[in-house]
Amino acid sequence: MKAKYKNRGWFLIILSIIILLISGFFYLRSVQRSLWEKSLTDILEVTTQGRHALDTYIEKDMEMLSLIVAEAAAQDPQNEEALSQCMKSSGTSDSSYICVNLDSGMLYTGFLNRGYSLNDEQLAMLSVLQGKGIREPFLDGRTGVWTLGYYETFTWPDGTKGLVQKTQPLSEIAERFSLSFYNDTGFSYVVNQDGDILLRSMHRNSNRTFHNLFDIIDLQGNDAQQVKAFESALKAGNRGVARFWYQEEEYIFCYVPMKNAPDWYVVSIIPNHVIMEQANSIVKDSQVFLILILGASVVMAAFFILYRNSTRQILLAEEKARKAAESANIAKSRFLSNMSHDIRTPMNAVLGMTNLALEHIDEPDRLQGYLENINVSGQLLVGLINDILDMSKIESGKMTLNIDTASLDMVLEKIVKIIQPTAAKKNLSFDIQLHRVEHKTLCFDVLRLNQILINLLSNAVKFTPENGSIRMDITESPSEKKDHAHLTFCIADTGIGMSQEFKDHIFDSFTREQNDHVNKIEGSGLGMAISKMIVDMMEGTIKVDSEAGKGTIFTVDLDFLIPDEIPIFQPSDEKINLSGRHILLADDNAINQQIAYELLTELGAIVTTADDGLVCTQEFENSPAGYFDLILMDIQMPNMNGYEATEKIREMDRPDAAQIPIFALTADAFAEDIAAAKKAGMNSHLAKPLDIPGMMREIQKYVK
């Protein structure tokens, strides 16, 4: 009898284990499926939000187009000048409008004061457009760039049929089309119903080789019926999810139809392993619990333990998934919060000090102090804006290095002039020492090297108490690269140092250590992140060694190409004299024009002003040969921009057209802007706000 009960007991135990294993198997599968479905819902929601943002952008453009159509429809279809002026007043720096008389085949644009006739092929292409809508991207024959076109047809009162089209560079739309999934592992496309890729997200993983979504899928040997079902879903205008192999890995394809662009879809592509990572982690944890249960003597107790722990893990995983879906919004909010505070602080100082200066305009001593404070706050504001623009350029992959031959002495001379005055105000000892530096003329990006070193030294000044010391040692050593010199920049201070916890995040964006001393010091938290990114672009390294209360040491290692025997201009301290020199100044901003005008006339120059590029070229063309010694040219101007004006001047048939120095005078201060100025035929590039001493040194190079 006992054996019978014993066998029954074992049977119940074995049965319980079998039931538990089966239940556990289905339970884990259910959890995995639920998490996967929840993640897909989140991705679809983010894709829908991205679709909505793009739809809104298109809708606003279509509304603006309708206003232009109404204006064009009110004109006489035979009045070429009025229609051209209507298109001219509607365009911007990144978009343009055309009006077409579909009956006569005449096209009117803001670039000409009269219309010109389209050929039969061009007219036929536009005549098929009906109503209002958006064209698929096409190569603009005028600009040579891929373009998006919005169009709307209309009828003039006399029955003549017309069409207005707005074109905009596709790259401008792509910059606004940015979706982020699971720590930037996913990317998105805009496609049509045939799978043709119309718009690519600015993402490092976005494949730019393929032009059709189904080419990507077919190459992976996916199931033909699944591919067919995906094609049918796009044809039917459905919203959903598909799974395919891409680049030897399974990916999730989430597709959402657009509203304001019929037959277009936003498609998000995310690696399946990223989505399943959390679910797989829970499955592995649960398997461990099941193994423990098998060895437990009390099946029910072990079951409750497993259930309780598994439930907790599920809740944590769901919370983690929710936080991951909200990470983009949180990052945006943090950015706006940081920038709102850091920009408003110097802006309030500028406005407040300006009001005080106006109230005490007849008190020179007080006025001087107010103006000095305005200058300091203005420089801080410019630094913050530059940091934001630099971070945006770096993250979008648009920042490039402007490598040129330069002198290390010139870099150090400028650094001393910037750092020494602020260090002296705090009674700080500031010293620069060179060790075994044999090559002072090297090839590098002067702006970016300056940015790295000034960021590090400025922080040293900020965080070093009075009577402390700051030292920069520069050491040359043999480089592993051929024809290169290896330089080590070591910046050490006796400042407040930093905690070990913060040191691990020193190069993260918008990161600042939180304590009473640091919170009183202005800064965006971007300087170190930008410095690290620039060092990485230069294929160098940067590291930090610090301890709270004992100072900080930053070490930067970089390799520089050694140029041939090339002479470097050494600026003179001699005061520049422009007496009798004729300078042509082109700037459409009245305030900027006044500032440059007064600076130059105080040095004796005779200044002629022009409000846009077209007037500038006319002033030069109408002047006697050799009359002007220098042209200062703004870039963003109406009628004709600075690049176009420079090219037109260089093409003129007169002896001084090719030799006269032309300087770009612009707020566009990135490496690609400097390269564009040189390509247009300009001799130099001066960034706004103007560095007055730097501008004078540059003028002195060309105007003797």
Average pLDDT value for residue range 369-387: 70
**What is the pLDDT averaged over residues 433-444?**
92
Alpha helix stretches (DSSP H) within 103-223: 120-127, 170-176, 213-218
- pLDDT tens-digit series, residues 334-374: 555 555 655 665 676 677 778 878 888 888 888 888 787 77
Q: Peptide bond before 478: cis, by omega within 30 degrees of 0?
A: no
Close Cβ partners of 606 (under 8 Å, ≥ 6 residues apart): 580, 581, 582, 583
Minimum mean pLDDT range among 132-141, 171-180, 303-312, 451-460: 303-312
Q: Residue 137 — φ and ψ, nearest 5°?
A: -50, 140
Which residue's structure tokens are 């070193």? 453
What is the model's pLDDT at position 528? 83
Sheet holding 187-192, edge to edge: 197-200, 187-192, 264-271, 249-257, 240-246
C-alpha distance from residue 266 to each of 151, 199, 204, 211, 646 (Å): 21, 9, 18, 15, 42
Confidence of residue 307 (pLDDT cuts 50, 70, 90): low
Do residues 271 and 187 make contact, with C-beta atoms less than 8 angstroms apart? no
The pLDDT of residue 397 is above 80: no
In order, the DSSP letters of 490-521 are EEEE-S----HHHHTTTTSTT----STTGGGS
d(CA 198, CA 144): 17
Multiple choice CATH, 33-295, 1.10.220.70, 3.40.50.970, 2.40.10.10, 3.30.450.20? 3.30.450.20
**Helix H or strand E segment including 675:** helix 671-680
Burial class (CB in 10 A: 0-12, 13-18, 19+), 528: buried
Task: List the one residue out of 443, 543, 435 whose CA is nearest residue 485.
Answer: 443
Q: Do domains 404-561 and 582-702 have the same CATH topology?
A: no
CA distances from 647 to 113, 376, 622, 641 (A): 21, 38, 17, 10
Question: Residue range 151-161: average pLDDT?
Answer: 93
User: With 50 as the cut, is the pLDDT of residue 315 above it?
Assistant: yes
Rounded to an integer, what distance in angstroms lies between the CA atom of residue 440 and that of residue 420? 22
Partners of 100 in the β-ladder: 107, 163
Residue 328 predicted with pLDDT over 50? no
User: 568 pLDDT exceeds 50?
Assistant: no
For the chain, state the CA radius of gyration: 33
Please tell me the distance from the alpha carbon of residue 459 to that of residue 469, in angstroms, as a whole number.
13
The pLDDT of residue 518: 47
DSSP state string for 599-650: HHHHTT-EEEEESSHHHHHHHHHHSPTT--SEEEE-SS-SSS-HHHHHHHHH
Position 467 pLDDT exceeds 70: yes
Among candidates 515, 524, 530, which has minimal Cα distance to 344? 524
Instruction: Give every CB contact of residue 63 below 8 A, 6+ residues apart in sequence.
Output: none
Confidence band of 567 (pLDDT split at 50, 70, 90): very low
Query: Closest Cα partner for 663 from 680, 651, 648?
Result: 680
Task: At 48, list the tokens.
Answer: 């829908």
* Confidence category of residue 566, pLDDT binned at 50, 70, 90: very low
Q: Is 553 exposed, middle or buried (0-12, 13-18, 19+ CB in 10 A)?
A: middle
Q: What is the pLDDT of residue 572?
A: 47
pLDDT at residue 414 in the model: 82
Q: What is the pLDDT of residue 437?
A: 92
Look up the CATH number of domain 404-561: 3.30.565.10
**pLDDT > 60? residue 546:** yes
Helix boundaries (H) for 220-298 = 224-235, 272-294
3-class state of residue 284 by DSSP: helix
| C-alpha dist (Å) from residue 490 to 419, 429, 461, 476, 538 | 16, 16, 15, 12, 17
CA distances (Å), origin 259, targets 41, 52, 266, 592? 20, 8, 11, 44
Residues 43-101 have pLDDT tens digits of 888 788 878 888 888 888 899 899 999 999 999 999 988 898 888 876 665 568 899 99
The Cβ of residue 530 has, within 10 Å, a number of other Cβ atoms equal to: 24
Averaged pLDDT for residues 166-173: 84
Phi, psi (rounded to 5 degrees) for 157 = -55, -30
- The matching CATH number, chosen from 1.10.3470.10, 3.40.50.2300, 3.90.1170.10, 3.40.50.720, for 582-702 is 3.40.50.2300
Q: What H or E segment, with its residue span, contains residue 21?
A: helix 2-73
573: pLDDT confidence band, cut at 50, 70 and 90? very low
- Going from the C-alpha of 218 to that of each of 186, 214, 227, the distances in angstroms are 20, 6, 8
* AA letter at 469: S
How many Å apart are CA 628 and CA 620, to the nearest integer?
8
Q: Confidence band (pLDDT; 50, 70, 90) for 146?
A: confident
436 has a pLDDT exceeding 90: yes
Amino acid 565: pLDDT: 79
Domain boundaries of the chain, sorted by first residue: 33-295, 336-382, 404-561, 582-702
Q: Is the pLDDT of residue 519 over 70?
A: no
Residue 358, pLDDT score? 86
Average model confidence (pLDDT) across the chain: 81
Q: Token pair for residue 346?
A: 């110097």
Model confidence at 504: pLDDT above 50: yes
Q: How many CA atoms lie within 13 A of 649 on its CB side?
A: 36
Angle at 339 between CA 333 and CA 344, to 5 degrees: 130
The enclosing H or E element of 701 equals helix 692-702
pLDDT of residue 256: 92
Q: Give the residue carrying structure tokens 């644009």.
A: 109
Region 191-212: mean pLDDT is 76
Structure tokens at 332: 């945006």
* d(C-alpha 451, C-alpha 529), whole Å: 12
Q: Which is nearest to 369 in space by CA: 382, 381, 347, 353? A: 353
Q: Tokens 């909505």 belong to which residue?
A: 52
Segment (H or E) for 457: helix 446-462
Longest dimension (CA), the chain: 127
For residue 538, pLDDT over 80 is answered with yes
